[in-house]
Amino acid sequence: AQSVTQLGSHVSVSEGALVLLRCNYSSSVPPYLFWYVQYPNQGLQLLLKYTTGATLVKGINGFEAEFKKSETSFHLTKPSAHMSDAAEYFCAVSDPSGGYQKVTFGTGTKLQVIP
């Protein structure tokens, strides 16, 4: 069964510092990979995705992620944190065995940005 692990339920960074949120997946076949952001009392919003092709993907709000097959990772980064980045971030994978229909979410990482 597909699974995804997010290391660190809480991450704190200073404003202007690098943001690194970690995500590892388990799959013998490369899945589709996603990062979502959830602001308080809102639904999830797609930040970026990897399906095939270029392994470095860029998303909205200056975020990017790199798919590393050898490390089964899809870490999310942003060079310079902004106060508005404070939110919950979810990594997600879709299961190739099920025709990519089923998406499994990680447990989330809450990002705190310190002024």
Partner 1 sequence: DTAVSQTPKYLVTQMGNDKSIKCEQNLGHDTMYWYKQDSKKFLKIMFSYNNKELIINETVPNRFSPKSPDKAHLNLHINSLELGDSAVYFCASSQVTGDGYTFGSGTRLTVV
Nearer to partner 1, 17 or 105 (CB): 105
Minimum separation from the CB atom of position 108 to partner 1 (A): 5
Query: Measuring CA to CA, how many Å separate 71 from each of 3, 78, 83, 105, 111?
Result: 15, 20, 30, 19, 23
Residues forming contacts to partner 1 in the complex (CB under 8 A) are 32, 34, 36, 38, 41-46, 49, 51, 88, 90, 94, 99-105, 107-108
| Closest to partner 1 by CB, 12 or 45 | 45
Instruction: Indicate the DSSP class of residue 16.
Output: T
Pick between residue 24 and residue 94 the one whose CB is nearest to partner 1: 94
